[in-house]
Amino acid sequence: MAQRSISQFLDEDEHVRERPPARPSRLSQDRKTHESKAAEDKHPTTLGGATYYRPTGEAVDEVVRDFHEAIVREPDGAVAVAAIKALTGVLKRSTATTMMGVQKELNDAAASLQKCNETAISLKAGCELFLRYATRTTAQDLEDFAAAKARIIERGDHFAQTSTRARQTIAELGARFVRPGFVVLVHGHSRVVLALLRHAASQGIHFSVAVTEGGRDNTGVHMARELEKLKIPIVFILDSAIAYALEALKVNMVLTGAEGVVESGGVINKLGTYTIALAAKALSVPYYVAAESYKFARLYPLGQSDVPVERRKVDMGPLMPSSVRVENPSRDYTPPKYISLLFTDLGVLTPAAVSDELIQLMA
């Protein structure tokens, strides 16, 4: 059987597809602030710079335990994929005798997962997409519950498998944009960006990478280490030197991942991404985003105040007056007008095409 994308009913398309942008209808989510809970939770799990907690004061149900175990077992995996696999486990263990019962169990499980980190966009988007995909029913399903449940489990397994393959599909599509002699600027650490660059290097393309420090969590150092293993020439730059580096290093393209791709075609990603996009636009450097379609989120932020953020405490040292508030949000929003193209497992998309793809995914 030919490999299919997550949407199952969408054809794989390696060409750029452009459609009129959707009109903004609403803010899909109010701004949330997820304060650190490390003191309350003795067993947090960290992946991709974000922390996922077991709900404090509640019994840890099986889906949450499966989710955390998947993150620990597959540190290079995606948070959304870990959630999808945990939800598939809920389907297999379900004792419900009606379709409504199955849907309730899945909805409750998804709600428990999202409590692990209420600002994690990819976790929320992955859960929502899985629920839409796995629980589609027909009149025939309502007549034969046993057969319907078997089909739902099959869909869940298929969704998990295609989600796992998404990164490789993106790597193959995006690597074609990396040309010999290019200087590629990346921001911090991204597993999908690393996969894309690894694939480009495996094709015999010689290029170099400028890696930003990516904030105070050393994600840029992690990325530099991984690229060094591939024998790719690297320049490490401070976040404050991004505009300088884009010009001085003659950067040919900017490439980042995304925590979430929103309805407008913009992206929510690691803090500093918006700054890079602004500088790249000013210097006419194309900015590409690599993102799996399970990160497409039903959000329509109008600005930074609409972005769900996780605020982390930062120790600036003894010279910083205690009365000074230090702002350290986890992510920012980059509007679609600063993005050249998105490399996804659905194909190479313009930002304007994202809304149509999201409508089909959620249909």
Boundary of a domain, candidates 133, 167, 201: 167
Check whether residue 211 and residue 355 sit in a common domain. Answer: yes
Q: Mean pLDDT across the stretch 238-252?
A: 96
Do 256 and 285 have their domain in common?
yes
Residues 187 and 277 in one domain: yes
Whether 145 and 231 map to the same domain: the answer is: no
Which structural domain, as residue segments, surrounds residue 176?
171-362
Judge contact between 242 and 276, C-beta under 8 A: yes
Query: Is 255 in the same domain as 297?
Result: yes
Say if residue 350 is in the same domain as residue 218.
yes
Beta strands in the chain (DSSP E): 13-17, 45-47, 50-52, 183-187, 208-212, 234-237, 253-256, 260-261, 267-270, 287-290, 331-334, 341-344, 347-349
Q: Answer yes or no: is pLDDT of 290 > 50.
A: yes
Spatial separation of the C-alpha atoms in residues 71 and 77, rounded to whole Å: 7
How much is the average pLDDT of 30-40?
A: 41
**What would the pLDDT profile of 129-172 be if each residue is shown by its tens digit?**
888 777 666 555 566 777 877 887 787 777 777 777 899 999 99
CATH of the domain at 37: 1.20.120.1070
Please report the pLDDT score of residue 279 as a whole number: 97
pLDDT-derived band at 363, boundaries 50, 70, 90: low
Can you give the pLDDT at residue 27? 42
Residues 209 and 231 reside in one and the same domain: yes
User: Do 311 and 290 lie in a common domain?
Assistant: yes
- Side-by-side strand order, sheet with 341-344: 13-17, 347-349, 341-344, 287-290, 253-256, 183-187, 208-212, 234-237
Instruction: Tell me the CATH number at 249.
Output: 3.40.50.10470
Residue 15 lies in a domain: no
Within a domain: 350: yes
Angle 165-166-169 from CA coordinates, rounded to 5°? 90
Number of domains in the chain: 2
Residue 17 lies in a domain: no
Does the model's pTM come out above 0.85? no
